[in-house]
Amino acid sequence: MKALVTGAAGFIGSHCAERLKKMDFEVVGIDNFSPYYSPDLKDRNAKDLKEAGIPIVMVDLREPKDYKKLDTDFDYIFHFAAQPGIAATSSFEDYLMNNLVATKNLIDFALKCEGLKLFTNISTSSIYGLRATLTEDAAPEPASFYGVTKLAAEQIVLSKTREQKMKACSLRLFSVYGPRERPEKLYTKLIGCGFFHQEFPLFEGSEAHVRSFTFVDDIIDGVVSVIGKEDAIDGEVINLGTEQEHTTAEGFTIVEELLDTKIRKDIVPKRGGDQMFTKANIEKARRLLNYNPSTTLKEGLEKQIAWYRKEFVD
């Protein structure tokens, strides 16, 4: 079996590529090494993948000509590549091109893969809006360019299943954390502030935000469980995340306890589009994928701290 993983040098994509390799897949990773955050971090991830026998091809999904670098003999495509988050530094055009146009171009490529069994689109709980607690058939109310363009990308993918041109599903991920988490994300930034005795910039009011913080290994368990279930999940949207819920303040305290330090807070103005409350409803994932995430927030943060210490401190 052969799998293509887009965004393979990124946080979650790199973990998926490694897991597929361990499952004896032939894996090809692609990434455009966008400077959205330090390319050095993606280079580290790519180095780990190459050492595991996973080639990384530099492909910009927005550029149709770049697809000529790829063969068309893939059995599975896992589409992680995206313009992430709700950063004020990203323009609407960034989200439009990297989330919508890139996905449309990738689908055009996928339709040329005659042996393709399943296209798995990686989506986000941001589609639900400021509160993400409902089932997959709830009306989406995205509150950011990120959520809007990821919803549109999801629908482009699913339109091909309605046309019966390919089998596809879309997985909506909830608040993923763990080793290789992007540097601007909550726990990587918080852990760094703890190690290096820096102030943590905390958005006003965000301590009370509630999240289904989900460890990356639990997410990958769900992602790879689509394999072999193509008929059952064709055309489906499925939530992946933990049912455990924690406030940002609780996560902050756990990190302080694990590092045995107090981290000073610098309260900064609140951020538009930030989700207030998320709790993954995973009844559908349990039924279709036998999904059962089990990592507690403390267990996951212990692993993320160990990774951070090895990569950036020792």
Say which CATH number the domain at 228 has: 3.40.50.720
- With CA atoms as reference, report the closest residue to 242 among 170, 173, 154, 139: 173
- Together in a domain, 199 and 78: no
- Together in a domain, 103 and 148: yes
Residue 303 pLDDT > 70, yes or no?
yes
Domain count, the chain: 2
Residue 89 pLDDT > 80, yes or no?
no
Query: What does the radius of gyration of the chain's CA atoms come to, in whole angstroms?
Result: 19
Domain span at residue 272 reads: 186-210+244-279+294-313
CATH code of the domain containing 305: 3.90.25.10
In a 3-state reduction of DSSP, which class is residue 170?
strand
- Label residue 39 by pLDDT band (50, 70, 90): confident
Residue 265 pLDDT > 80, yes or no?
yes
User: Which residues are tagged catalytic?
Assistant: 146
- Together in a domain, 120 and 155: yes
Greater confidence (24 vs 276) lies with: 24
Residue 155 pLDDT > 80, yes or no?
yes
- With CA atoms as reference, report the closest residue to 170 among 295, 82, 90: 82
CA distance 308 to 233: 36
Which pTM does this prediction carry? 0.97
- Together in a domain, 257 and 111: no
Amino acid 36: pLDDT: 85
- Together in a domain, 235 and 92: yes
Say if 18 falls within a structural domain. Answer: yes
- Determine the residue type at 240: L
Say if 153 falls within a structural domain. Answer: yes
- Together in a domain, 87 and 164: yes
- Together in a domain, 199 and 257: yes
**SS (HEC) of 245-259:** CEEHHHHHHHHHHHH
Average pLDDT over the chain, rounded to whole? 96
Amino acid 312: pLDDT: 96
Over residues 166-215, the pLDDT tens digits come to: 999 999 999 999 999 999 999 999 999 999 999 999 999 899 999 999 99
Residue 154 pLDDT > 70, yes or no?
yes
Residue 38 pLDDT > 90, yes or no?
no
- Together in a domain, 19 and 48: yes
Amino acid 217: pLDDT: 99
- Together in a domain, 305 and 255: yes
Amino acid 294: pLDDT: 97
Amino acid 35: pLDDT: 87
- Together in a domain, 79 and 224: yes
- Together in a domain, 268 and 233: no
| Helix, strand and coil in the chain, % to nearest 5 | 45, 20, 40
Amino acid 87: pLDDT: 67
Amino acid 274: pLDDT: 81
Over residues 106-128, the pLDDT tens digits come to: 999 999 999 999 999 999 999 99
- Label residue 90 by pLDDT band (50, 70, 90): confident
DSSP state of 313: I
Say if 181 falls within a structural domain. Answer: no
Four-residue CA torsion sign, 39, 18, 106, 57? positive
User: Average of pLDDT values for 6-13?
Assistant: 98
Amino acid 88: pLDDT: 61
